[in-house]
Structure 1
Amino acid sequence: METSRRSRRRTLLALPALTAVAALTSLTACGSDASTTTVGADGKAKVTVLRSNGAIFEPLYIAEQQGYFKQAGLDVTIKAGAQDTSQNAPSILNGEAQFAMTDSSGFLKGAAQGLPVRIVTGLQSATTKTAPTDGLLVKKTSAIKTFSDLQGKTVGLSALGGTIQFICEYLVQKDGGDPAKVKFVSLPTTSLNDAVYSFGTFFAAGRANGLRSIGKGMNELPGIPQGVLFSSQRYLSSNSATAKKFTGAVAKAITYADAHPDAVRAIDKKYTTVPAGFIDKQATAYYDKSINTTVMRTVITNMKEFGLLDKAPKDSDLYWDQAPTATS
């Protein structure tokens, strides 16, 4: 019965990546060229980057505002990508955009299906340098005290099969429980069953409204990528100089963002629907360009074990050869 459950979940979770594969096949048949860089009359290389609809995109706008893209000789357009960032891959593969954001699981799903995409830089990873901005929330009167107590319980998630589900299952197992005995359902982030795993402003609002948090969220696995930028292998092969200029500008913006939290808050006020008063009260995130390949391998191994990946992609199929990787 358990094997059947895992098989069904793998089939469902593979559908987004398979859709992207089908889209790539169609685009290739039509002769689309995703490797061409357009240069404007001003001599600047034109680049489009797809951001997430939620957060972690702040360094992109800082690079624009501080002139880092311009100084690098780039004309960069920042656009909101798909609501599910794992669905940005077709736009990258057909040349509609050159770079896009996603999280670790969103990227790994595509890589496990053989999509020719590579991570070029990190944006943010879980770190003990900041207080948790995500985690498990329960009612104050709940008998749930630890992650292992979730066995036999129902946990609400904003989306199934992603990084949030992975970290929840990982922490159940780390606490000595069996992740297969936890039921996950997709619900609005404000809904609550036995428990809800929430993040960002929803996590902060839940705690402010009296919910109790358990553990330290993704900070329990420092180094897990929460936001990365990726591109197509074909584009990177033909445009490595442009890609290096782009990632260099983003790296400068990451350093600036960590040193200027008010600049981050100003971007959040402009590009999110979160009330300004709430933004002013919250600590800003810590941004990091590095991608910890050791932690990423832990994520891959466990996602496959939990049935969230059909197969474990090799490191050579994940990272651009000039990406800022690190080991621990």
Structure 2
Amino acid sequence: MQTSRITRRPTGLALTACAVALSLTTSCGSGSTTGATSADGKAKITVLRSNGAIFEPLYLAQQQGYFEDAGLDVTIKAGAQDTSQNAPSVLGGEAQFAMTDSSGFLKGAAQDMPIRIVTGLQSATTRTAPTDGLLVKKDSPIRSFADLEGRTVGISALGGTIQFICEYLVEKDGGDPSKVKFVALPTSSLTDAATSGKTDAVFSFGPFYFAGKESGLRSMGNGMNDLPGMVQGVLFAGQRYLSANAATAKKFTGAVAKAITYANEHPGAVKAIDKKYTEVPDEFIDAHDTNYYDKNLDTAVMRTVITKMHTFGLLDKAPADDAVYWDQAPTVTAGGE
């Protein structure tokens, strides 16, 4: 069990990632700038997806022919279990695009890695019911996030999006995030930890969140949906690749945008992909609504995330917008819903 009040990604980790890229390229961050083509003249692209979810639009773009119509030959591969570690593969030219979440990307950007978000895939939204959140015992004295002061919260990984949203909601509720202790536990053990009293609360998600509620745990708040517009899934690429292949990148993001629209209109197609590519039981997939996908990147909400992550000690520094977004990314400034 890993324990931490605040976790900062050490500079050495980014340097290790850079070293991996160095073994593949002549300089850290150089990457591949020349786009390869297939025998029939299509631009070849490899994209690394997450191992969990939110990747469904990629497969729909492939199935519906959106990539082919755009003149692209796209290969989708499962990336690193920790999606923040997909950056070395992108910088080294093994892939042109990769998935991660906002905290995973921002940790790289804060270390000056030359990567940029090209499109969003999903953001927290009030359009859908929560699929994640804080769970406590039914008779727990914890009634608000501020009540987490002096308590222990179990989460699946330290220093990422889940720790951030917990600290953000504690502060928003008038509490002091620095007085909350976080421990990292296997996702499958979170319900047990809260039920047994090993932790005072847990923040769970997906099937584990619903299983926790069904076991008698009480949920608090609306999870990540309590910060509408917070980016939960993005696709990113290396800056040099984007500079040299802007037209190809635009075709790729355009095809993904079409697939996002299709996904929102055809939940059955999304569920079919989940059944094929995830380990989530078919019964759970059938019984729950699909997520809402969104290409737009809310820069106002992202700036809040960046500022607060830095304040909480989860980022070494707060990267500027021009170090976060591709200049052709679908950014908006709605500031949430």
> TM-score over 0.5 for the alignment?
yes
1:18 aligned partner:
15
Q: 1:187 aligns with which of 185, 188, 193?
A: 185
Q: Choose 14-23 or 288-297, whichever is displaced more.
A: 14-23
Find the aligned partners of 1:276 and 1:168 in 2 and give their Cα distance: 30
- Aligned partner of residue 265 in structure 1, secondary structure: helix
- Aligned partner of residue 121 in structure 1, secondary structure: strand
1:49 aligned partner:
47
Q: Which runs of 5+ in 2 are unaligned?
A: 194-198
Instruction: Rate the CA distance shift 1:13–1:126 in 2: closer, same or farther, 3 A.
Output: farther
Displacement after TM superposition at 1:233 (Å): 0.2
Residues 16 and 86, structure 1, Cα contact 8 Å, conserved in 2: no
Q: 2:326 aligns with which of 316, 320, 323?
A: 320
Residues 31 and 90, structure 2, Cα contact 8 Å, conserved in 1: no
Residues 116 and 238, structure 2, Cα contact 8 Å, conserved in 1: yes
Residues 5 and 182, structure 2, Cα contact 8 Å, conserved in 1: no
**Once the two structures are superposed, what CA deviation does each residue of 1:205-264 show, in whole Å capped at 9, x if it has no partner?**
211222111001111110000000000000000001110000000000000000111111
Q: 1:267 aligns with which of 269, 273, 279?
A: 273
Residues 16 and 87, structure 1, Cα contact 8 Å, conserved in 2: no
One-letter amino acid of the structure 2 residue matched with residue 324 of structure 1? P
Counterparts of 1:103-182 in structure 2, within 5 Å, are 103-182=101-180
One-letter amino acid of the structure 2 residue matched with residue 29 of structure 1? T
- Aligned partner of residue 222 in structure 1, secondary structure: coil
Find the aligned partners of 1:14 and 1:219 in 2 and give their Cα distance: 31
Q: 1:88 aligns with which of 79, 86, 89?
A: 86
Find the aligned partners of 2:88 and 2:39 in 1 and give their Cα distance: 28
Q: Which runs of 5+ in 1 are unaligned?
A: none
Displacement after TM superposition at 1:139 (Å): 1.5
1:211 is the counterpart of 2:208: no
- Aligned partner of residue 156 in structure 1, secondary structure: strand
Residues 45 and 95, structure 2, Cα contact 8 Å, conserved in 1: yes
Percent identical among aligned pairs is: 73
2:287 aligned partner:
281
1:65 aligned partner:
63
RMSD over aligned CA atoms reads 1.6
Find the aligned partners of 1:260 and 1:109 in 2 and give their Cα distance: 34
**Once the two structures are superposed, what CA deviation does each residue of 1:70-121 show, in whole Å capped at 9, x if it has no partner?**
1111110000000000000000001000000000000000000000000000
Displacement after TM superposition at 1:5 (Å): 7.1
1:295 aligned partner:
301
Normalization by structure 2: what TM-score?
Answer: 0.92
Find the aligned partners of 1:33 and 1:309 in 2 and give their Cα distance: 25
Residues 134 and 198, structure 1, Cα contact 8 Å, conserved in 2: yes
2:248 aligned partner:
242
Normalization by structure 1: what TM-score?
Answer: 0.95
Find the aligned partners of 1:15 and 1:42 in 2 and give their Cα distance: 43
- Aligned partner of residue 29 in structure 1, secondary structure: coil
Find the aligned partners of 2:135 and 2:215 in 1 and give their Cα distance: 11
Displacement after TM superposition at 1:188 (Å): 1.2
1:306 aligned partner:
312
Find the aligned partners of 1:302 and 1:321 in 2 and give their Cα distance: 24
Find the aligned partners of 1:116 and 1:30 in 2 and give their Cα distance: 12
One-letter amino acid of the structure 2 residue matched with residue 203 of structure 1? Y
Find the aligned partners of 2:218 and 2:284 in 1 and give their Cα distance: 20
- Aligned partner of residue 162 in structure 2, secondary structure: helix
Displacement after TM superposition at 1:30 (Å): 7.2
